[in-house]
Amino acid sequence: MGNLRIMIIGGGIGGLCLAHGLRRAGVTVTVHERTEARTDWLQGYRIHINPHGGRALRDCLPPGNWTAFLGTVSPDDAGFGFTTEHLDDLLRFDAAEITGEHHGVSRIKLREVLLSGLDPVVRHGREFVRYENRGAEVVAHFADGSTDTADVLIGADGANSRVRAQLLPHARRADTGIVAIAGKHRLDGAALPRVLTDDVNLVVPARRGSLFTAIWRGEDPYILWGYSEQAAALPPLDDADLRALVLERTTGWAPPLRDLVAGSDPSSVNALRIRSATPVKPWPTSRVTLLGDAIHNMTPMAGVGANTALRDADLLRRKLTEVTAGRADLLPALHDYEQEMINYGFAAVRLSLRNARQGASTSRLARTAFRTTLRTISAVPPFRRRMAAQFGQ
């Protein structure tokens, strides 16, 4: 088919990764991002890059950007433990049991790496409004009255995607009824036990809620924690003292867990209502498609959202490169991308939603069963090896 013109709506992790991959393959690409400048996106905590995400970044990024990425990461060489609210282990894997290369990365630093070298193709301050199909072209309309034209338009514009709203108006995000409250405790000088300063943990209490902890060892090292519970069980969160609320909900827990919350910087503590994409069946393929949170937005309770977006970017890069090289036709290539992406993307959505509901369950019977299952896995080597292999994905 010769060279394609690709237009990406949204300059998030997946969209920028795809832009790099396409540029390296000689494909003409532009990225339209609604924020006005590179520094408008300064938000978020550390994220986990698993082997899928790492491979996608390595294969899409220019060598210099990949090296810069490796220079910003905090190696995720920690173990992973499930504990009770009294810090008694239910199941714990040491780092050697978890296969594959894992990285912790600052969301801000990752965005800087992804933006590096893309100045010629990223258009800031471009708020997407709608698109229209004109035969073999797609025209995008922006809030300032401008337009742009391409052979393919890719919606990588996040969970509230306007591209998705037009392409798949029936695709919705559902409120899970769960609230997550997250904060940061400085790692330097933290008077906390090794289990919290060295390992990732999921605290599974007997009664209600759950608490996740992870470590960021990069610049300004900290311990990230996130407490989740059913929203209906919590008081109104507007103007609430979120630290005090979590401390009240964790009364009777092990002192180090409460110290972790109490010692956090109040400005780092935020609450988020957890939403998740509803299942979407394959749709008629056109010159408009979707990537990342724009199609399979998920809860943070599996730690795979960013990795799935990166996986999308690499898969779509390969499909479009085949078209440019004359080895595939455009619409069949996009159809194949969508089929594969829907399968693994919504599998990740289901996993993260299951984890979220499990962690916020108020059923004492379900919690007892889950804790018993974890203890059984810990005691039976074949079960243990199988679950450790899943952590390596």
Answer whether residue 145 is part of any domain.
yes
What pLDDT was estimated at residue 136? 93
> 269 with 280, same domain?
no
Answer whether residue 51 is part of any domain.
yes
DSSP per-residue codes, 20-62: HHHHHTT-EEEEEESSSSGGGG----EEEE-HHHHHHHHHHS-
Q: What's the order of all strands across the beta sheet hosting 80-83? A: 89-93, 80-83, 200-203, 210-216, 222-230, 173-186, 270-277
What pLDDT was estimated at residue 100? 75
What pLDDT was estimated at residue 72? 87
- Convert the pLDDT of each residue in 61-78 to its tens digit: 999 999 999 998 876 667
Answer whether residue 248 is part of any domain.
yes
Q: What's the order of all strands across the beta sheet hosting 152-155? A: 122-124, 28-33, 5-9, 152-155, 288-290
What pLDDT was estimated at residue 75? 63
- Three-class SS state of 88: coil
What pLDDT was estimated at residue 30? 98
> 20 with 41, same domain?
yes
392: pLDDT confidence band, cut at 50, 70 and 90?
low
When pLDDT is averaged across residues 142-161 and rounded to a whole number, the result is 97
> 130 with 62, same domain?
yes
- Convert the pLDDT of each residue in 302-326 to its tens digit: 788 999 999 999 999 999 999 999 9
Identify which has the larger pLDDT, 180 or 388: 180
> 251 with 188, same domain?
yes
> 44 with 168, same domain?
yes
Answer whether residue 236 is part of any domain.
yes
User: Which residue type, as a one-letter code, is found at position 269?
Assistant: V
When pLDDT is averaged across residues 353-378 and rounded to a whole number, the result is 93
Answer whether residue 340 is part of any domain.
yes
Q: What's the order of all strands across the beta sheet hosting 137-142? A: 128-134, 137-142, 147-150
What pLDDT was estimated at residue 103? 85
pLDDT at 343 over 80: yes
pLDDT at 330 over 90: yes
pLDDT at 1 over 60: no
> 231 with 380, same domain?
yes
40: pLDDT confidence band, cut at 50, 70 and 90?
very low
Tokens standing for 315?
Answer: 């898969």
CB crowding 166-194: b at 16 or more within 10 Å, else e: ebbeebebeebebbbbbbbbebeebebbe
CATH number of the domain residue 207 falls in: 3.30.9
pLDDT at 229 over 50: yes
DSSP H/E element including 349: helix 330-360
> 193 with 263, same domain?
yes
Q: Number of folded domains in the chain?
A: 2
> 127 with 258, same domain?
no
pLDDT at 287 over 60: yes
pLDDT at 45 over 70: no
> 268 with 212, same domain?
yes
Q: What's the order of all strands across the beta sheet hosting 103-106? A: 46-49, 103-106, 74-75
CATH number of the domain residue 131 falls in: 3.50.50.60
Answer whether residue 99 is part of any domain.
no
> 119 with 246, same domain?
no
pLDDT-above-70 percentage for the chain: 96
What pLDDT was estimated at residue 97? 86
Answer whether residue 320 is part of any domain.
yes
Which of 151, 155, 175, 158 is CA-nearest to residue 166?
A: 155
> 265 with 306, same domain?
no
For tokens 């960013």, the residue is 306
Answer whether residue 89 is part of any domain.
no
Tokens standing for 151?
Answer: 């052979």
Range(s) of the domain holding residue 243 = 176-273+359-391
Which residues, at least 6 apart from 133, have a Cβ–Cβ distance to it below 8 Å? 139, 286, 287, 288
> 367 with 253, same domain?
yes
54: pLDDT confidence band, cut at 50, 70 and 90?
very high
Other C-beta atoms lying within 10 Å of the C-beta of residue 381: 9
41: pLDDT confidence band, cut at 50, 70 and 90?
very low
